[in-house]
Structure 1
């Protein structure tokens, strides 16, 4: 791959997770050929975090990964499991509905068509990381804690805990919900707020003769939460078990770590909530799941500040929200749209300041994020504790809601932000 160009921007990315890595790929791919940026990624952890639950990569998410060169690697390594359709169940009465990714001809949605992919966060990250490693202009350094961010008219400088400092033309804050970039520089007063729900997840190894009630992925609604059960590899020898449920705030990040460390207590909580399920495999899957972890879902307030003159926030650092089915795809679209806006500014001869490209991106993106944020609120309501009547109403509403919103969802699935007019 092409090395960095002498005239290319120098870019720092804070955060070596999937948002930071895809941002590096997008800035590289869409840069003018003679102005490939020099990109340095700094990650606070000692190595990239390949742990976590399983996510659903919708057709628009897979389209972006394909454009960025990561999807072929994911396919080649046989990461994840293709989803033709997502099944929705009431744990007390059975199947309620399906949400299909097969498209009109059974090949997927969009042109070219993509279905969906259930994949662990770790495997998704490894696929993207492999794509990054092919790029000569991108380097990553782990174990770097940022303690100070200074911005001038001409540059932005990071100072690390070890005393080292580094400067660049542009800083990308891709460092998640508790973003140092946001909290130390862009908008310190905008702090993460607990949503009221948490995700308890683990992976259940199963034998070939273990019977499940789903083809690939099932959303199982109960009176006290929602349980996701899904294969996440072609081998089908393990099921991801993730319970999204209302949990009282424990008050601090250290407190959450302590609660989350008690795997057996988390397992018992899931059994208390879903143990009365009439679907036979639900309880055994909870019992089989290993290394249960409790992950509190934090959000940011709607809107907020995304940038300064030389610093831009992307992904959860800018607009974290409860999971609403398209969260990962939204992040990938962020990175590609921003890269296209920045490239247009470069191609125009860098008129005025870099903030011109930032403003163009925000004008394009804010409306979509605001809609997704409002949609995410319904997720919190849907998984919150409900009585018999409230749950019964929900089981009637969900199938109609899926039917009514099908065209709207597919509109997002066919979108390709690599070709959309950025109006700039």
Structure 2
């Protein structure tokens, strides 16, 4: 791959997760010819974090990963399991509905067609990391904690805890819900708040003859939460078990880690909520699941500041929200759309301030993010604790809601932000 060009921008990305890595790939792919940026990624952890549950990469997410060169690697390494359709169950009765990704001809949605992929966050990250390693202009440095951010008219400078520093033309804050970029520079008063929901997840090893009630992925609704059960590899020897449920906030972020270590207590809580399921495989899957981890769901307010003159927030750092089925795809869209807006500004001869590109991106993106915020509210209400009557109403509403929103979901699935008119 081409090395960085002396005429390209110097870019710092804070955050070595999926958002930061895909931003580096997008900035590289969409850079004007002869102006490949020099990109430095700084990650606070000593190694890129590969912990996490299993996410659903929808057709639009896979389309963008393909454009960025990561999907062929994921396919080659046989990461994840293809999803033709997602099934929705009431744990006390039967299947309520399905959400289809196979398209009219069974090949997927869009042109070219893509289905969906259930993949662990760790495998997704490894696939994207491998794509990043193919580019000489991108470097990743781990174990760097940022303690100060200074911005002037012509550069941004970061100071690290170890005494070192780095400067660039542009800083991208891709450092998640508790973003240092946001809290130390862009909008310090905009802090994350606990949503009231927590995801407790583990992985259940299963034998070939273990019978489940779903083809690949099932969302199982109960009176006190939602349980996701899903294969996540082609071998079908492991099932992701994730319980999204209401829990009171612990006293500190360290408390979440301590509670997560108490696997026996977590399993007992999940069994109390879902163990009375009439679906035979649910209780054994909870009992088989190993290495439970407790993941609190934090959110940001719907509106907020995303940028200064030389600093831009992307992904959860800008707009973290409760999970609504397309969160990862939204991050990929962020990175590609922003990169296209920045490239257009460079091609126009860098008129005025870089903020012109930032403003063009926000004008293009705000409406989609605010719509996603509204969609996420339905997730919170659907998994909140409910009595018998409330749950019964839910079982009638969910199929109707999936039918009613099908057209809007498929519209997002076929959308290709690599070619959409950015109006700039």
TM-score range, shorter chain: over 0.9
Look up the match of 2:81.
Answer: 81
> What's the counterpart of residue 353 of structure 1?
353
Structure 2 distance, partners of 1:40, 1:119, is 27
Q: What SS is found at the alignment partner of 1:99?
A: strand
Question: 1 CA distance for matches of 2:181 and 2:318?
Answer: 10
Shift of 1:397: 0.7
1:375 is aligned to 375
RMSD: 0.5
Could you say what secondary structure the match of 2:309 adopts? coil
1:128 aligns with 2:113: no
Equivalence for 1:256: 256
Q: CA deviation at 1:319?
A: 0.1
Which runs of 4 or more aligned residues in structure 1 lie more than 2 Å from their structure 2 counterparts after TM superposition?
none
1:23: how far off? 0.1
Q: TM-score, normalised by structure 1?
A: 1.00
CA shift, 1:262, in A, is: 1.0
Structure 1 position 250, deviation (Å): 1.1
**Is residue 19 from structure 1 mapped to residue 19 from structure 2 by the alignment?**
yes
Q: Does 1:67 align with 2:67?
A: yes
2:366 maps to: 366
Aligned residue in 2 for 1:398: 398
CA distance in 1, matches of 2:30, 2:281: 47
**What number of residue pairs does the alignment pair up?**
424
In structure 1, the residue corresponding to 2:306 is in which secondary structure?
coil
What is the Cα deviation at residue 15 of structure 1?
A: 0.1
Q: Which residue is 2:165 aligned to?
A: 165
- Equivalence for 2:36: 36
Equivalent in the alignment of 1:246: 246
1:119 Cα deviation after fit: 0.1
Q: Where in structure 2 are the equivalents of 1:20-419 lying within 5 Å?
A: 20-419=20-419
Show CA shifts across 1:331-381 (max 9, x none): 000000000000000000000010000000000000000000011011011
How far apart are residue 404 of structure 1 and its match?
Answer: 1.1
TM-aligned CA deviation for residue 251 of structure 1: 2.9
Determine the C-alpha separation between the residues in 1 that align with 2:226 and 2:51.
Answer: 22
User: How far off is 1:261 after superposition?
Assistant: 1.7
- In 2, the alpha carbon distance for the partners of 1:46 and 1:347 equals 37
SS in 2 for 1:378: helix
Alpha-carbon separation, structure 1, partners of 2:188 and 2:406:
39
Q: Deviations over 1:267-324 (max 9, x none)?
A: 1110000010000010100000000011000000011000000000000000000000
User: Per the alignment, in what secondary structure is the counterpart of residue 41 of structure 2?
Assistant: strand
| Distance in structure 2 (CA, Å) of the matches to 1:61 and 1:396 | 30
In the alignment, the residues of structure 2 paired with residue 310 and residue 209 of structure 1 have an alpha-carbon distance, to the nearest angstrom, of 57
In 1, Cα distance between the equivalents of 2:282 and 2:94? 12
Cα distance in 2 for residues equivalent to 1:220 and 1:95: 9
TM-score in terms of structure 2 length: 1.00
In structure 1, list runs of 5 or more residues that go unmatched: none
**Equivalent residue of 2:266, what SS?**
helix
